[in-house]
Amino acid sequence: MPDKPTIPANFTTEQVFNITRAIAGRVGYQAVIDAVSDEIQGILPHNHIDVVILDKNKENLVAYETGIQTEWGGINRKSVSSSPIRDILLGKVEHLITPNAMQDPRFTITSMFNKPIHDHQLRSRVHVQVRVAGELIGALSISSVKPDIYTITHVANAKLLSDLIGPYFFALWQSELVRVTEINRVKESARLEGLRTGARYVTDELESARAQIGMDLHDQTLADLSRIQRRLGSIDHLDADDIEALKEDLGCCLLDLRQIVDDAKPTVLEMFGLTAAVGARLERQIQTTRMPVAIKLVDQSNGCIDDLPFKMRITIYRILQEAGNNALRHSGCTKINVVFQSNGSDAKIIFSDNGRGYQQEDFASCGGLLNMKIRASLIGAEVTFSRPGKSAELTLNYHADQ
């Protein structure tokens, strides 16, 4: 068996400075672990690093990873009870170390989410708590495909790394808790205000519609017009084909603007239902992109999807509109499937395509994906996404009793 790597007992001062410089100014969990990965390779050799962060009630977690991409990653929440390192997350032990997780009974329990370990041959593993001011907020895990390479010295270095990055994660963790608390406070305040006065409710609804139109104009029409303006900046150098292309772009922009105006009513949704409205919208999007894409809409609710409140249906419509934009503009797909399920109070909608799938940068930038999650949260629904590397699938779940 080859000798285990020889590493310093502790980080040197220069190494600590390199790590702190690497993470300085980073504003997201993913950005922090990406920044430290290269810096620690000589001290903590690895093929995979992940940091899991607990939610406010410390019952669920979100994992952020770098190196090998696994099913642990992404922005979907998972239960602490199903985590293979639940003993750390529950505060029962301070660290775990294994020479071969694929043979270690602690990591082979069938009821736990161990599949990524075996899928990616993550043999050697070391795990430590992430604590700030004594509060347990998550765990740092470092893995290698080589067996039996970590020692207790690696555990000490992992703990020191955890102490270095912990304050950054704590600040981000607190910001997330404040954001969630503020969203809940605003939602409750709006609900009570609506009960007090119908007039105020109408005003809020009109303001929400105005904000929605502004968002659509900003995300779609304004972006297209800005692109056209940039091309017009060099109009003296444009030939006839370029000018014709500009005319076509402007026509598409006008078509989108007409659609935004129509969506503000929205006529198709009111007259023909959600399934028909989503189908019509996707057809128009395909026309503007000139891509041969097949659409399959399946209403498994037997029409009950249209028994949902109108505010619910219009929000679902907007989320699927954004999903269609992402699929047609970025995925290179040739098929889009949308499945509607509902009993009139609860709902589940699945949007999938056969394109390139979500990329890690899609989650890191948090643009359109975060936009869809925010829209869903405002109606008490939840949106989840398939992990990077797999075919893209968006699932929206709404339960009336939540």
Give the tens place of pLDDT for each residue, 284-319.
888 877 778 999 999 999 989 999 988 888 889 989
Does 151 score more than 70 pLDDT? Answer: yes
State the CB neighbour count (10 A cutoff) for residue 345.
14
Residue holding tokens 């939840």?
Answer: 382
pLDDT over 90 (residue 338): yes
67 or 264, higher pLDDT: 67
Burial of 54 (0-12, 13-18, 19+ CB in 10 A): buried
The pLDDT, as a whole number, for residue 7 is 44
DSSP code of 3?
P
The residue-averaged pLDDT of 59-73 equals 83
Over residues 364-371, the mean pLDDT reads 66
> How confident is the model over 216-239, as a mean pLDDT?
71
The Cα–Cα gap between 246 and 228 comes to 7
pLDDT band at 5 (very low <50, low <70, confident <90, very high): very low
What is the arrangement of strands in the sheet containing 335-342, beginning at the earlier edge strand? 294-299, 335-342, 347-353, 393-398, 381-385
d(CA 138, CA 113): 17
Instruction: Tell me how far apart the alpha carbons of residues 311 and 191 are, in angstroms, rounded to a whole number.
Output: 14
Q: What is the mean pLDDT of residues 94-105?
A: 91
Tell me what the mean pLDDT of segment 374-379 comes to.
82
Give the chain's mean pLDDT. Answer: 80
Distance CA 189, CA 179 (A): 15
Q: Are 164 and 44 in contact (CB under 8 A)?
A: no
Q: What is the pLDDT of residue 61?
A: 83
Burial of 119 (0-12, 13-18, 19+ CB in 10 A): exposed
- pLDDT computed for residue 143 by the predictor: 92
pLDDT at position 300 is 94
Per-residue confidence (pLDDT) for residue 76, from 0 to 100 = 60
The C-alpha atoms of residue 383 and residue 390 are separated, in whole angstroms, by 17
**Which pLDDT band, with edges at 50, 70 and 90, does 98 fall under?**
very high
In order, the DSSP letters of 209-234 are: HHHHHHHHIIIIIIHHHHHHHHHHTT
Mean pLDDT value of segment 116-131: 91
Q: Which of 51, 47, 39 is nearest to 168 (CA)?
A: 51
Whether residue 144 has pLDDT greater than 90: yes
Q: Which pLDDT belongs to residue 202?
A: 42
pLDDT at residue number 251: 76
The pLDDT score that the predictor gives to residue 226 is 74
Q: Highest mean pLDDT range out of 47-56, 160-169, 184-193, 241-250?
A: 47-56
Write out pLDDT tens, residues 316-335: 998 998 899 888 888 888 99
pTM for the model stands at 0.44
CA proximity to 101, closest of 70, 124, 119: 124
